């Protein structure tokens, strides 16, 4: 029904061109629903207004085809006849849209008289029907906008937008500034009316649960460009672009138990960067990302991503991992054909009961413990020994007991510097500077007295921070954290986890967080694997797997994998 081809919009600001939307393309079938997400200022509303032809003074290029007719090539008089009858828009701010000195009834009947040629009486009857469909009594026709609540004004605008029976409704932030009850009522109404009337819908919203509920396909916009497109449920469950993942992880409705971090930095002005607009904020950006803007390319069935690396990179992948222990004459299978993937910049939780095989699997992944079967790949390269842990930018592990992991005879400085000493990285002075920076990142002192203190003289919390600093000193791309707070008091545990998550968010490294504590996993994880008796019994986005109460997520789960 609707086809948008190479659509671009440029504003003229004080004689200088200001790109707002660049090269957007998508299609929409009759009755279909499309969601558009992105930060404020990324071009979502401008795109909607451009489709409607409501941007006087802006330069528009490309085509917007409605049933094959190009709206951008029409004269304004012809385009005006298409609005309301064929394509209508529910605007974001009802107080800005509605005229404060004209009654609701007058404002709702105006499009019917102008576009359908109805008499005033016929228009009023039609509006009364539409108001009833939205749950508003006829008496509100005599009200002025300021006499209605925000939810009621939004319902009135919806009635006005649908009064002429359009085939396509564009909805721009329909629930912004509404209370939860009004928000739910408006969403219920939209869903019910679309089901009954059959119109197609483009929904622009920051409310990701609403997008998931009401749309079938999804576009992510950034700096005026579409950076990801696909099935809504699949994109929200498994985003391929780092920006889409950042938006999802910042949504409190999806992750009600996590601390809110957001995406570091701010969006650039559309068209102001030569390369990828997201590169300055991206955890996996390379030098070439700043050279050319990435094209929106197919990535599997019904998915398109604009990323030079084809989407979020896979840092670690393990396939068919097997481990058997020999206890006398008995063979005990600890890990039974486990597959696991960790992608760039994400936190993956590996949860399960004590004895389920979590630590065994972790040590196999970093090759501290030899596997009896299976393959481990680090950035696509097979890992057969400890080569990935013996380099800068590789992977490191923080063990459960810092007293066993760090020699009590070493000084604090020696313990943190030791991985660099073993690698022979740089000069001694550079290694010491790196070690002190790692200690400072974990909020430990860097005074001479503390640096010379032996590790056995530290508290449990200090020793664990030293162990984490020791792992971070090599700037790993992947940190494997094995029950790192299990031996700490709740206060120390909370402080260390927040500091570590803050560093992960700031630096963009990946983390495999191993725990039997569901509450902790909820606080940090983007994705979750549940391990039970050596098997992965469930896997998926944290907002799905860890959605219920922690004590109800029984470790006696059925052997069913959530893909």
Give the pLDDT score at 550: 43
Cα separations (Å) of 354 from 350, 519, 555? 12, 16, 10
Least confident window among 254-268, 292-306, 310-324, 499-513: 254-268
Distance between CA atoms of residues 134 and 252, nearest Å: 28
Q: Is the pLDDT of residue 558 over 50?
A: no
| Residue 345 · residue 501 · CB < 8 Å | no
Helix residue ranges, H only, 134-241? 150-162, 180-197, 208-214, 232-237
CA torsion 256→258→262→264, rounded to 10°? Answer: 180
Task: Supply the mean pLDDT for the chain.
Answer: 90
Q: What mean pLDDT do residues 478-482 have?
A: 96
Intrachain domains 1-75+167-261 and 313-394+475-563 with the same fold: yes
Q: Which residue has the tokens 């500034």?
A: 177
pLDDT for residue 538 is more than 80 = yes
Q: Could you give the C-alpha distances from 152 to 91, 137, 156, 166, in angstroms and in order?
A: 14, 10, 6, 21
pLDDT band at residue 548, thresholds of 50, 70 and 90? low
pLDDT for 187-218, tens place per residue? Answer: 998 999 999 999 999 999 999 999 999 999 99
Q: Is a pLDDT exceeding 60 seen at residue 551?
A: no
The reported pLDDT for the residue numbered 400 is 87
- What are the backbone dihedrals phi and psi of residue 403, each rounded to the nearest 5 degrees, phi first? -65, -30
CATH class name, domain 1-75+167-261? alpha beta
Higher pLDDT, 179 or 47: 47
Q: Sort strands 381-382 and 373-378 into parallel, antiparallel or unpaired.
A: antiparallel
Report the range of poorest mean pLDDT among 116-120, 483-487, 550-554.
Answer: 550-554
Highest mean pLDDT among 174-178, 335-339, 559-563: 335-339
The confidence score (pLDDT) of residue 72 equals 92
Percent of the chain predicted with pLDDT > 90:
62
What is the number of residues in the chain?
563
Q: Can you tell me the distance from the alpha carbon of 312 to that of 343, in angstroms, rounded to the nearest whole number?
A: 7
pLDDT at 553: 44
Give the CATH number of domain 313-394+475-563. Answer: 3.40.50.300
Domain ranges of the chain: 1-75+167-261, 94-165, 313-394+475-563, 407-473
Q: How confident is the model at residue 470 (pLDDT cuts 50, 70, 90)?
A: very high
Q: Give the neighbor-by-neighbor strand order of the sheet with 314-327.
A: 330-343, 314-327, 373-378, 381-382
Average pLDDT over residues 439-454: 94
Tell which wins on pLDDT, 335 or 163. Answer: 335
Task: Name the β-bridge partners of 505.
Answer: none
| Position 164 pLDDT exceeds 50 | yes
pLDDT at 481: 95
Tokens of 8: 């671009």
- Range from 113-117, 170-174, 533-537 carrying the lowest mean pLDDT: 113-117
Q: What is the pLDDT of residue 560?
A: 42
User: Which one has a higher pLDDT value, 439 or 164?
Assistant: 439
Instruction: Give the residue, 48 or 267, on which the prediction is more confident.
Output: 48
Span 38-72, pLDDT tens digits: 999 899 999 999 999 999 889 999 999 999 999 99
| Alpha-carbon distance values, 363 to 27, 32, 369, 482 (Å) | 48, 48, 5, 9
User: How far is the first Cα of the chain from the last one, in angstroms, to the nearest whole number?
Assistant: 33
0.85 exceeded by pTM: yes
Work out the average pLDDT over 387-401.
91
pLDDT band at 489 (very low <50, low <70, confident <90, very high): confident
- What pLDDT is recorded for position 313? 95
| pLDDT value, residue 186 | 86
Alpha-carbon distance 531 to 550, whole Å? 15
Q: Looking at the predicted structure, is the pLDDT value of residue 241 above 50?
A: yes
Q: Which DSSP string do the residues of 216-236 spell out, in sequence order?
A: SEEEEEETTEEEEEEEHHHHH
Please choose, from the candidates 541, 540, 519, 532, the residue with its C-alpha nearest in 3D space to the C-alpha of residue 559: 532
Choose between 348 and 563: higher pLDDT: 348
Pick the range with the lowest mean pLDDT from 99-103, 174-178, 309-313.
Answer: 174-178
Residue 384 has pLDDT above 80, yes or no: yes
Of 398, 354, 405, nearest to 497 (Cα)? 398
Over residues 448-459, mean pLDDT = 92
């Amino acid at each position: 029904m609707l086809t948008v081809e190479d659509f671009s919009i440029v504003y003229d600001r004080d004689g200088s061109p200001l790109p707002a939307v660049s090269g957007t393309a998508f299609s929409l079938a009759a009755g279909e629903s499309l969601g558009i997400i992105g930060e404020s200022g990324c071009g979502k509303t401008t795109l909607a207004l451009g489709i409607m032809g409501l941007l006087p003074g802006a330069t528009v290029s490309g085509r917007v085809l409605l049933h094959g007719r190009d709206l951008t090539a029409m004269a304004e008089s012809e385009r005006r006849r298409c609005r309301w009858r064929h394509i209508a828009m529910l605007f974001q701010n009802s107080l800005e849209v509605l005229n404060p000195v004209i009654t609701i009834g007058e404002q709702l009947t105006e499009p019917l008289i102008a576009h359908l040629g109805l008499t005033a009486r016929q228009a009023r009857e039609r509006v009364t029907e539409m108001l009833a469909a939205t749950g508003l009594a006829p008496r509100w026709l005599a009200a002025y906008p300021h006499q209605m609540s925000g939810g009621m004004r939004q319902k009135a605008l919806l009635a006005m937008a649908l009064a002429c029976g359009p085939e396509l409704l564009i909805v721009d932030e329909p629930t912004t500034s509404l209370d939860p009850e009004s928000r739910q009522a408006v969403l219920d109404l939209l869903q019910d009316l679309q089901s009954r009337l059959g119109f197609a819908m483009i929904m622009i919203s920051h409310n990701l649960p609403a997008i998931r509920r009401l749309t079938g396909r999804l576009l992510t916009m950034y700096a005026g460009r579409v950076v990801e497109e696909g099935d809504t449920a699949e994109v929200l469950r498994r985003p391929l672009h780092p920006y889409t993942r950042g938006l999802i992880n910042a949504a409190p409705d999806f992750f009600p138990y996590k601390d809110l971090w957001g995406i570091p930095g701010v969006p650039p002005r559309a068209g102001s960067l030569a390369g990828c607009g997201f590169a300055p904020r991206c955890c996996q950006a390379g030098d070439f990302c700043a050279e050319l803007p990435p094209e929106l390319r197919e990535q599997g069935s019904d998915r398109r991503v604009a990323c030079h690396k084809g989407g979020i990179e896979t840092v670690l992948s393990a396939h068919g991992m097997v481990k058997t222990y020999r206890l006398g004459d008995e063979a005990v299978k600890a890990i039974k054909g486990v597959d696991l993937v960790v992608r760039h910049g994400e936190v993956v939780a590996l949860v399960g009961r004590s004895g389920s095989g979590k630590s065994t699997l972790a040590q196999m992944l970093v090759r501290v413990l030899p596997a009896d079967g299976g393959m481990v790949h680090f950035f696509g390269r097979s890992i057969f020994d400890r080569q990935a842990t013996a380099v800068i930018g590789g992977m490191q592990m923080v063990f459960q007991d810092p007293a066993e992991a760090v020699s009590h005879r070493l000084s604090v400085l020696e313990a943190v510097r030791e991985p660099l000493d073993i690698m022979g990285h740089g000069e001694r002075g550079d290694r010491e500077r790196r070690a002190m920076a790692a200690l400072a990142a974990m909020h430990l002192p860097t005074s001479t007295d503390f640096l010379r203190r032996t590790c056995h003289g530290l508290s449990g919390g200090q020793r664990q921070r030293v162990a984490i600093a020791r792992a971070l000193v090599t700037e790993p791309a992947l940190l494997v954290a094995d029950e790192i707070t299990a031996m700490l008091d709740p206060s120390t545990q909370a402080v260390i986890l927040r500091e570590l998550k803050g560093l992960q968010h700031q630096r963009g490294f990946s983390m495999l967080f191993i725990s039997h504590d569901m509450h902790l996993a909820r606080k940090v994880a983007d994705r979750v694997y549940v391990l039970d008796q050596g098997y992965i019994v469930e896997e998926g986005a944290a907002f799905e797997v860890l959605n219920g109460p922690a004590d109800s997520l029984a470790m006696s789960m059925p052997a069913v994998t959530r893909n």
